[in-house]
A and B are shown apart, each in its own frame.
Chain A
Amino acid sequence: MANRWLGFVTLLVFTFLLGPLVIMLVSSFGEAGVLQFPPENWSLKWYANIFQGSMFMTAFQTSILVSFAGNMLALLVGLPAAYAMSRFQFKGKAFLQTLFISPVLIPGIVLGFALLRYIIVTFQIPVYTALFIGHTIIMLPFIVRVISSNLDNFDFSIEEAAVSLGASRVGAFFRIVLPNIKSGIIAGVLIAFLESFNNVDISVFMTGPGVSTLPIQMLTYVENYFDPTIAALSVLLMALTAVLMFVIERLVGISYFTKK
């Protein structure tokens, strides 16, 4: 009896989780000018539509650029921070740990608005720079967290061994520590990239006239049109995400994102 209930609930969960995705996937191939399920006629024209005109391509480029640049900066800050927090005991460590994680704890809307209101407006920061800063902040916690969890299992005695054999601290970091946490770094970078690339709630405050990230552009589009272009674009983005997740899974296992 209990088992049957469980089966039923599981079925419901999967239906609600996957149903919309399946509907979107199928209807993106419809011919009609509105979303239809199942479509009466089949076509690839909405996929072609994505690449017609520069609207999505420009936004895509902006997204890639912002996510990539922010990613690099977040890595530059996040890697040494994660290393220091795993390796050393120091005053204010707990505070720093919380600080690096806080962007995921605060609702994006609040964070986005706060950034806009107190930083962007106050300092008159241009749109691109604002996006760059905002996305660095989005990505930092993911990078710090994934690399930290990698370093927490790291046996620092091999670093000490290297130093005792004559390597400098910096040399030991690059030659001994880095090669052994490589997969964690790549995973952190990829997951942060996905997080930034798909972000809406913070980007929405940072974008301005003429500059838009892909999700924001999509949002604007659905406000005006009802055709399946967005469905087609979503399918492409899903495919991209799936590929990245596959790579991450191969590198470190998906458990990285389910454990705290």
Chain B
Amino acid sequence: MSHVSLQNVAVAYQKTNILENFNLDIPEGELVSLLGPSGCGKTTTLRLVAGFLQSHQGSIQVGGKDYTTVPVNKRNFGFVFQNYALFPHMSIFDNIAFGLRQRKVSKKDTYTKVMEMLELVGLQHFENRFPKELSGGQKQRVAIARALVINPDLLLFDEPLSNLDANLRVSMRSEIRRIQQESGIAAIYVSHDQEECFSISDRVAIMNKGVIEQLDHPAAIYHRPRTSFVASFIGFKNFLRFDRRSENGQKPIFYKGDSTFAVSYEKDTGSMTGVIRPDDIRIKPAGPPVTENELSGTIITAIFLGRSYQYEVKTEHGSFTANQEMTIPFQSGDSVVLDMPPHKWVLVEESEVPSYAG
């Protein structure tokens, strides 16, 4: 049985539906992150679970209890805000103690628990400081400690690391993961940052326009996007809509004009749209005649990315983006052949897609 369950919830702002028939289930102790473009409804989902927004239909259950109409202050969920939201007029001790005092925890227990928390987040001896005397990373730790000390039934993070610099983000996210796993509290984590979501989550929900397009383990999302939106969002830049397919024994062959592509997949969805990452295309100088899974083209642009070059290649089926490490790069105008191996292709269901090749 899942610990958190959103069933058929819906949120509308001024009659525009932001979430509709939204469902999400999270097992005990799991961290699920919501990832998606700006404005897709991540914060809205989180605020709905927290109780700052009300769903006009469906239900929200946590730990077997119905929370649909329970007010925010009776929910016992820990919320970590993007801008930390520490109380500026209170010391770090009082900030962390706030939730305990609301719960009328005794003075002695409050002291013990706050001190434990400070140790957990690595901020011993900071209890008498004030928020303005802390760095961004330290503030975020206090915010986490403050949310955690009430022993919440669920942790909610809204882009908690987006105000920190890149190095700190990386160390803080493993910190958050460690604390979350140690406490065993289920969590919903919102972020813009793909890598952050993949590294911290048990499962990732890719959202688009108020809908979860795919909820899966990070590796599964990375390697097997289910829809064209998910694919493009996680970096599959090349889309090819095939004309027809034929079964050739075990190996299905897809056709696009005169080109043929062998595509390996785990499950046949009958989809006719293939996607492939720039990193998975090999570029070779033009020469021998093109064979299966190859496409000839001309380099349009070459951009230096550091480790590799990114090439824009024009082909008869539209332009492709390919990355390749090379000491002597191709020049624009060079004739090349793109090699796109069968196991690198992924067949996706069509959803809202950026621009297709072909």
Interface residues of A in 157-199 (CB under 8 A from B): 157-158, 160-169, 171, 176, 179-180
Query: A163 contacts B73, CB within 8 Å?
Result: yes
- Asked if B65 lies at the interface with its beta carbon under 8 angstroms from chain A, I say no
Query: B73 contacts A160, CB within 8 Å?
Result: no
Interface residues of B in 94-127 (CB under 8 A from A): 98-99, 102-103
Q: Contacts A158-B85, A180-B89 hold; do A166 and B52 have CB atoms under 8 A apart?
A: no
Taken residue by residue from 13 to 56, chain B's Cβ proximity to chain A (1 for < 8 Å, 0 otherwise) reads as: 00000000000000000000000000000000000001110000
Q: How far is the CA of A169 from the CA of B73 in the complex (A)?
A: 8
Q: How far is the CA of A158 from the CA of B146 in the complex (A)?
A: 12
User: Chain A residues in contact with chain B, CB under 8 A?
Assistant: 155, 157-158, 160-169, 171, 176, 179-180
Q: Which residues of chain A are near B265, meaning CB under 8 Å?
A: none
- Select one of A157, A167, A179 contacting B85, CB under 8 A: A157
- Asked if B150 lies at the interface with its beta carbon under 8 angstroms from chain A, I say yes
Query: A168 contacts B73, CB within 8 Å?
Result: yes
Q: How far is the CA of A169 from the CA of B85 in the complex (A)?
A: 16
Chain B interface bracket (under 10, 10 to 19, 20 to 34, 35 or more) = 20 to 34
Q: Which residues of chain A are near B102, meaning CB under 8 Å?
A: 165-167, 171
Interface residues of B in 60-83 (CB under 8 A from A): 72-79, 81, 83
Q: Which residues of chain A are near B78, meaning CB under 8 Å?
A: 164
**How far apart are A185's CB and chain B's nearest CB, in angstroms?**
14
In the complex, residue of chain B having the shortest beta-carbon distance to the beta carbon of A176: B87
Q: How far is the CA of A158 from the CA of B98 in the complex (A)?
A: 12
**How far apart are A186's CB and chain B's nearest CB, in angstroms?**
15
Q: Which residues of chain B are near A161, meaning CB under 8 Å?
A: 79, 81, 85-87, 146
- Select one of B52, B89, B146 contacting A165, CB under 8 A: B146
- Asked if B88 lies at the interface with its beta carbon under 8 angstroms from chain A, I say yes
- Select one of B50, B74, B87, B147 contacting A158, CB under 8 A: B87
Q: Which residues of chain A are near B74, meaning CB under 8 Å?
A: 166
Query: B77 contacts A164, CB within 8 Å?
Result: yes
Q: Which residues of chain A are near B81, meaning CB under 8 Å?
A: 157, 160-161
**How far apart are A165's CB and chain B's nearest CB, in angstroms?**
4
